[in-house]
Chain A
């Protein structure tokens, strides 16, 4: 079975600093996609960043970047220059190529301290 583990239920960081959220996953497949979703207090699930497993280069979206270690099945999210608006629950998720189900981790609640 495919699983996603986020070992940090909560994290906090000072505004303008950098924080890294951890995610590991388990699958025997080689073709899959990985995602980080953000869920602010508004409850909306917002896609932050996406990584294709076949790509060696780590994805980057402005202040958000990932460290994808395929052999270790690790997919961490780095947020640089943290802003108050980054406060949210962050969910790691993945889907096997050709599958229908996006599997989510339990989430990490990120607090930004002013």
Chain B
């Protein structure tokens, strides 16, 4: 158990809909990262927050947004969903802003029909 909690574990929705994925980092970790893993692909970096502020942005679509709240949990919002958004979305946390050693949650599997 990494200590990172992601909900929901599975989500099935329709095209055009909006979903919110939630992540609670390990106790004491200030950084939260979001990654997308499509079928048989590596992990693509989406966005990072550190202590409530956006620190780095990767290949995140404009239809996607995220935030980190004062209690350090984070939410990833995906809107106007398309079939291609079906993927495993991982949240990871770390103590620092650029430590590299990330602790991953179990992921949220999103299926868009």
A residues lining the B interface (CB < 8 Å)? 4, 33, 35, 37, 42-47, 50, 91, 94-95, 97-107
- Contact A44–B104 (Cβ < 8 Å): yes
| CB of B51 to closest CB in A, whole Å | 13
Interface residues on B, range: 20 to 34
Contact across chains for A101 and B58 when beta carbons are under 8 A apart? yes
Contact between B42 and A106 (Cβ–Cβ < 8 Å)? yes
| Closest CB in chain B relative to A66 CB, distance in Å | 15
Known: A45-B43, A101-B58. 16 other contacts (CB 8 A): A4-B42, A35-B100, A35-B101, A43-B106, A44-B104, A44-B105, A44-B107, A45-B92, A94-B100, A100-B55, A100-B98, A102-B102, A103-B45, A104-B44, A105-B42, A106-B42
A–B complex contacts, Cβ < 8 Å, 24 sampled: A43-B88, A43-B107, A43-B109, A44-B105, A44-B106, A45-B43, A45-B90, A45-B92, A45-B102, A47-B102, A47-B103, A50-B100, A94-B100, A95-B98, A100-B97, A101-B45, A101-B56, A102-B33, A102-B45, A102-B100, A102-B102, A104-B42, A104-B43, A107-B42
Instruction: Annotate B19-51 by CB proximity to A: 1 below 8 A, 0 otherwise.
Output: 000000000000001010000011111001010
Minimum CB–CB distance for B26 against chain A, Å: 13
Whole-angstrom distance from the CB of B98 to the nearest CB of chain A? 5
Name the residue on B nearest A4 (C-beta): B42
Max count, chain B CB within 10 A of own CB: residue among A4, A43, A102, A106: A102
Number of A-B pairs whose CB atoms are under 8 Å? 60
Smallest Cβ distance from B33 to chain A, in angstroms?
7
A106 to B38: give the CA distance in the assembly, Å: 11
Q: Which residues of B contact A4 (CB under 8 A)?
A: 42
Which 10 pairs show the lowest CB-CB distances between chains A and B?
Answer: A100-B56, A45-B104, A95-B100, A33-B100, A104-B42, A106-B42, A104-B43, A101-B45, A100-B48, A43-B107
